[in-house]
Structure 1
């Protein structure tokens, strides 16, 4: 073997083509690493942007929940005020019905004048009678007023028995027709 058969030999140095290939490989690795670092920076920035948006969404939802809770409380307050005002007007209706009855009209005539059922008229009149009786027996009972208001409310909504009367039951009369007794 000749020294000419072997590629270029130097004193510890490489042939120029190997050196060039090594340099190109180093350049490619450097470029790949730079691209990887750029991707990591871009991904990191995207993650930060995502988390900032998530935090903003959380703040907005909390703010919205607070506003909704405030509005729901306002609704409850408005309904409570309305119920109080309605109860007062029901009381006025009951007093008016009792006044009509006190001026000599029958329950039926009172009902006809007010365009309500006889049952409702009796309930209204009874509610006022119960309230006035309760006031005479106990002047410092706050539950009496609320009870009277509940009774008047029952009259208007037609869902409670008339005070002082037995509930009506449907019975068959002698002529075969159904009647409330």
Structure 2
């Protein structure tokens, strides 16, 4: 048997125009793929920038909240100090009104001197009595405590 001789088939040569079209198509595809990679990289970078900005926002908001909390505490302390000063000044007004009243002025005269209503004058005089009573009580407690501390040990034992 005679074997059929097969000769390698030669590939048909492409025309120059076809080769140019194929090369242009490959180049367009390569350019498209490169552009796609660049777009994806821009998207990744934009996402990284977005996340970094989000972290900066969180840090700034936390710092702001800490400062606001500190300032709020300071404001509260200032308000408390102001309340204490005002209370002290009200007590002083009351003691002053009481001193006028105890010096022989009537409630009407005290009200006229202070340019307040009689009701307000009565309130001031009462507040002065309360303030004076508290001051006396505080002084007495301090005096008793001093006496108790001054008693030496052993006195009164076994006598």
Same fold, judged at TM 0.5 (above): yes
Q: CA deviation at 1:121?
A: 0.9
Residues 59 and 119 of structure 1: CA distance in aligned 2, closer, same or farther (over 3 Å): same
Query: Aligned pair 1:48/2:51, yes or no?
Result: no
Alignment of 1:16-165 (within 5 A): 16=15, 17-132=17-132
Paired residues in the alignment total: 131
Query: Structure 1 residues 133, 117: CA separation in 2 closer, same or farther (over 3 Å shift)?
Result: same
Cα distance in 2 for residues equivalent to 1:72 and 1:78: 10
Kindly indicate which of the two structures has a greater share of residues assigned to helix. 2
- Equivalent in the alignment of 1:158: none
Unaligned ranges ≥5, structure 2: 1-8, 142-159
| Alignment RMSD (CA, Å) | 2.2
- Which structure would you say has the larger RCO, counting Cα contacts within 8 Å and 6 or more residues apart? 2
- The TM-score with structure 1 as length reference comes to 0.64
Unpaired stretches in structure 1, ≥5 consecutive residues: 1-9, 141-181
Larger radius of gyration: 2
Distance across 2 between alignment mates of 1:41 and 1:85: 65
| 1:137 to 1:75, Cα distance in 2 relative to 1, 3 A | closer
Q: Distance in 1 between matches of 2:29 and 2:85?
A: 83
